[in-house]
Chain A
Amino acid sequence: QQPVQSPQAVILREGEDAVINCSSSKALYSVHWYRQKHGEAPVFLMILLKGGEQKGHEKISASFNEKKQQSSLYLTASQLSYSGTYFCGTENVGGFKTIFGAGTRLFVKA
């Protein structure tokens, strides 16, 4: 039931791009993306709803393929501040219950 995230970890140099994937075996209505710094609360990045839309926030964007029950988070021209653990959270229709993946650790070095 827990969505599967890949890769588990990634190391980037400043300015490089990364893609983080999230897939579910169940039909999804929505997918959230959050970033968490060590010892802090997760911070909301964006939410995608059923319908295959793509969203963007500065140099971070995401897509949702409802046929494949997959979402991808795109980080372009990475900055040091992008370091942290990225989580996807998923919901089924009418569920109220948000289930998170195990996370992807991203480290950006100068």
Chain B
Amino acid sequence: DGGITQSPKYLFRKEGQNVTLSCEQNLNHDAMYWYRQDPGQGLRLIYYSQIVNDFQKGDIAEGYSVSREKKESFPLTVTSAQKNPTAFYLCASRGTSWWGELFFGEGSRLTVL
């Protein structure tokens, strides 16, 4: 079945460490997204990519980095520069139309100790 796979589901990190969250999709979608969700809050856009080898900053990109070397993969690195990284991270993808439905992964919950 087609879908989006995020890993790991839960991750603990010590302060000062970088961590990379994986996002893989087999939907053949061009556009991919990373959102951050804090308790009781909405989804805030970190980065998005419309095509391979191209990505744009979202509203809260500071302290994060991404790459898009393959169509199916869009990993997110949470760097030590991110001041408050504990959150629920959601990856999403979108098909042919720029306004279409977003398909979400199950999310990765990052806790910084």
Contacts and interface: CB of A to CB of B under 8 A. Distances in A.
B98 A41 contact: no
A99 B59 contact: yes
Interface in A71-110: 87, 89, 91, 94-103
A67 to B, nearest CB: 19
Q: Is the interface of B mostly helix, strand, loop or mixed?
A: strand
Interface residues of A, number: 26
Contacts of A101: 42
A30 interface: yes
B75 to A, nearest CB: 18
A96 B50 contact: yes
A100 B43 contact: yes
A87 B42 contact: yes
Q: Which of B98, B103, B105 has the most CB of A within 10 A?
A: B98
A interface, by DSSP: helix, strand, loop or mixed?
loop
A104 B58 CA distance: 23
Nearest to B102: A98
A89 B109 CA distance: 22
B98 A94 contact: yes
B106 A49 contact: no
Nearest to A101: B42
Nearest to B56: A97
Interface string A9-32: 000000000000000000001101
Interface of A: 1-2, 29-30, 32, 34, 39-42, 44, 47, 49, 87, 89, 91, 94-103
- Counting from the closest, the 8 A-B pairs by CB-CB distance are A41-B104, A102-B42, A30-B99, A100-B43, A96-B98, A100-B42, A44-B101, A103-B42
